[in-house]
Structures are given as structure tokens and as C-alpha cells.
């Protein structure tokens, strides 16, 4: 199968590495990105078969076009390349973390064979240099069929997912966006707000010297690609706002609970306010452990 990967950072590069490592004989891989550094390096590594000089050349003979740029860039690529790809009969498969806007854009291109997709895998590092063949191994890869998706289009998408070692999970775009807003987009905003509130304080330079695993774990997603972050939030505004409102109310409740602790007096281990706080922390822990979160 001839696949063209448009956008060649961590995700696109990891797809190419997975295909080269796991199923090389079945795929002919062409790569293109605005900066051609990653595709050229991948060609030198033997990870891709060709580097296209233009994005139009990249999609010209493809069976499957993988849009692997940032969310806003994928949306623009879908709009600009869609008519030409529709005429060629190729399947467009994207890896965008906000899907409803992509589905609406694809529906506006007559004849476009589009399948939405979102691999639930990633790290905070960006660029082909950090691409890994095992990035998607044993991870869910959400598949979002559109009205224009035929059996052949879904077969192509599923073949790519299988070649990357991932497991397909079918969702509708609105449900996808609601769920990932909770477990991906909200955590980004919260981590960014946490980091912003601390790093802008006068004491940050001193605090930074003490920061250890807990700080890095809770701010990890804020260290990622700003283009990815702004795109997934902007394209999923309403769902992110809904979860932010819920989080703000919960955070206010936590503030009230902390304020209820006796000020200036070390509490006894069996004090009522300590017991209530301990039980709340235990409930949160149990909910995470129960579902493996």
C-alpha cells in the first residue's frame, strides 16, 4: 500500500518507524513536511521510501494519506488538499486530537473519502528525532468513520493501525471530543495553569532547585508542543470549557476544605477535619486505581 505521511514530527515519524520495523514489505512510504529536515533524515535512515518536494506531489499517487501535522494545520490541509485527494480516490486518515471540526470540514468536500483517527499515545518531546517504532504498541487508536467512509477506507485505516501495533476503538466525533477533553485537553490547561502560577512567582528560582518527580509529573503535559496544544483546545472549545467549569467548582471545594483546617495549630491525627480530608484523598486514589487511571 502506498501511504503519504503529511507532517513528520513525533507522530508521523513514529508511524513511519513502526511501518519500517514491523511491516516494511507491505508499505511504500512517502513523507512531506513544511520543514523537510525530518523526512530527509528518515530517508537517510531507511525509514521512508521517498521525500516529496511538494505536498501536492506527496499525495499524487497515494492510496492512504495520513494527515499528521498539528490540529489546525490538519484542518487546513484537509480543506486545501481535499478536492484533489477526492478526485484521486485515496483515503484520508488523520491523527487529530479534536475530531468534530475535522469531520465537518471533510463533509464539506464532495467525494472525499475520510476516516478520522486519534492514536492515544505520545510523549512531551517533539520532532522526528524523538520518533519511536513502539510508540503506539498496545495503545488504543480511536477510529471515527464518516458518512463517506466505505469498507475499503476503513480497511486501509485498520491496516495502518495494526501495522503500528495499536488497537482500534470506534467512536463518534462528538463523543470522542467530550471524552478526550476530560483526559487530555483539561489536563493540559490545568498543568499549564499550575506551571504558570508557580513559575511567575518571585520564589520560582529557589523553588525550582527543590522540584522533583511530583512537580515534573504534574507539569509534564505543559512541556509539549504549543502548536499541538493550542490546536486541540481551540478546535474543542466548548467541551474544554465544560470540563474547566467542573474543575473550577471542584478546585473551589478543595480550597474550602483546606481552609477548614485549623489555622496555626498542628492538628491531631484523629481530628475531624484531618479525617475528612484523608477520606477525600482516599476516594480519589481509589477511583484512579479502580480504572487504572
Q: How far is Cα 172 from Cα 142, in angstroms, rounded to an integer?
A: 9
- The mean pLDDT value for 163-181 works out to 96
Is the pLDDT at 24 greater than 80? The verdict is no
Classify 118 as helix, strand or coil: strand
In the structure grid, which three cell numbers stand for residue 44, read together?
537517510
In the structure grid, which three cell numbers stand for residue 240, read together?
474544554
- Which pLDDT value is given to residue 247? 98
Q: Where are the alpha helices (DSSP H) in the chain?
A: 10-22, 37-45, 55-59, 71-88, 100-107, 151-163, 173-180, 186-199, 204-208, 213-219, 226-234, 237-259, 272-290
Is the pLDDT at 245 greater than 70? The verdict is yes
Buried-exposed string 268-283: b where 16+ CB fall within 10 A, e elsewhere: eeeeeeeeebeeeeee
Which tops the pLDDT comparison, 160 or 292? Answer: 160
- Which pLDDT value is given to residue 123? 84
Is the pLDDT at 56 greater than 90? The verdict is yes
pLDDT (tens digit, 9 = 90+) per residue, 190-205? 999 999 999 999 999 9
Domain 2-171: homologous superfamily in CATH: NAD(P)-binding Rossmann-like Domain (3.40.50.720)
Is the pLDDT at 81 greater than 90? The verdict is yes
Is the pLDDT at 117 greater than 90? The verdict is yes
Is the pLDDT at 293 greater than 70? The verdict is no
- Which pLDDT value is given to residue 264? 72
Domains 2-171 and 175-290 share a fold: no
Is the pLDDT at 291 greater than 80? The verdict is no
Mean pLDDT lowest among 30-39, 86-95, 122-131 = 122-131
In the beta sheet, which residues pair with residue 66?
A: 5, 93
Q: Using alpha carbons, list the distances in angstroms from residue 273 to 16, 24, 249, 263.
A: 55, 61, 20, 11
Q: Which class is domain 175-290?
A: mainly alpha
- Which pLDDT value is given to residue 19? 96
Split at pLDDT 50, 70, 90, the class of 263 is confident
Closest to 140 measured CA to CA, from 176, 168, 100: 168
Buried-exposed string 125-155: b where 16+ CB fall within 10 A, e elsewhere: ebebeebbbebbeebbbbbbbbebbeeebbe
Please report, for the chain, the start and end positions of each structural domain, with discontinuous segments joined by +.
Answer: 2-171, 175-290
- Which pLDDT value is given to residue 261? 87
Buried-exposed string 224-247: b where 16+ CB fall within 10 A, e elsewhere: bbeebbebbbebbeebbeebbeeb
Amino acid at each position: 500500500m502506498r501511504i503519504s505521511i503529511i507532517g513528520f514530527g513525533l507522530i508521523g515519524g513514529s508511524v513511519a518507524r513502526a511501518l519500517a520495523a514491523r511491516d516494511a514489505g507491505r508499505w511504500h512510504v512517502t513523507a512531506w513536511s513544511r520543514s523537510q529536515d525530518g523526512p530527509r533524515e528518515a530517508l537517510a535512515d531507511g525509514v521512508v521510501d521517498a521525500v516529496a518536494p511538494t505536498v501536492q506531489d506527496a499525495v499524487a499517487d497515494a492510496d492512504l494519506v495520513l494527515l499528521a501535522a498539528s490540529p489546525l494545520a490538519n484542518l487546513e490541509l484537509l480543506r486545501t488538499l481535499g478536492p484533489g485527494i477526492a478526485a484521486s480516490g485515496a483515503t484520508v486518515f488523520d491523527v487529530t486530537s479534536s475530531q468534530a471540526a475535522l469531520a465537518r470540514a471533510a463533509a464539506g468536500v464532495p467525494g472525499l473519502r475520510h476516516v478520522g483517527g486519534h492514536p492515544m499515545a505520545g510523549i512531551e518531546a517533539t520532532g522526528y528525532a524523538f520518533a519511536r517504532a513502539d510508540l503506539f504498541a498496545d495503545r488504543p487508536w480511536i477510529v471515527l468513520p464518516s458518512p463517506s467512509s466505505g469498507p475499503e477506507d476503513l480497511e486501509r485505516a485498520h491496516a495502518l493501525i495494526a501495522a503500528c501495533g495499536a488497537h482500534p476503538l470506534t467512536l463518534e466525533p462528538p463523543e470522542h471530543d467530550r471524552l478526550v477533553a476530560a483526559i487530555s485537553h483539561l489536563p493540559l490547561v490545568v498543568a499549564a495553569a499550575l506551571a504558570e502560577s508557580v513559575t511567575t512567582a518571585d520564589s520560582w528560582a529557589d523553588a525550582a532547585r527543590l522540584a522533583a518527580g511530583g512537580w515534573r509529573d504534574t507539569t509534564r503535559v505543559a512541556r509539549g508542543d504549543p502548536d499541538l496544544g493550542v490546536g486541540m483546545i481551540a478546535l474543542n472549545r466548548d467541551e474544554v470549557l465544560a470540563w474547566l467549569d467542573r474543575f473550577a467548582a471542584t478546585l473551589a471545594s478543595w480550597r474550602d476544605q483546606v481552609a477548614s483546617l485549623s489555622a496555626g495549630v498542628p492538628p491531631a491525627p484523629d481530628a475531624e477535619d484531618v479525617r475528612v480530608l484523608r477520606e477525600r484523598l482516599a476516594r480519589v486514589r481509589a477511583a484512579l486505581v479502580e480504572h487504572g487511571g
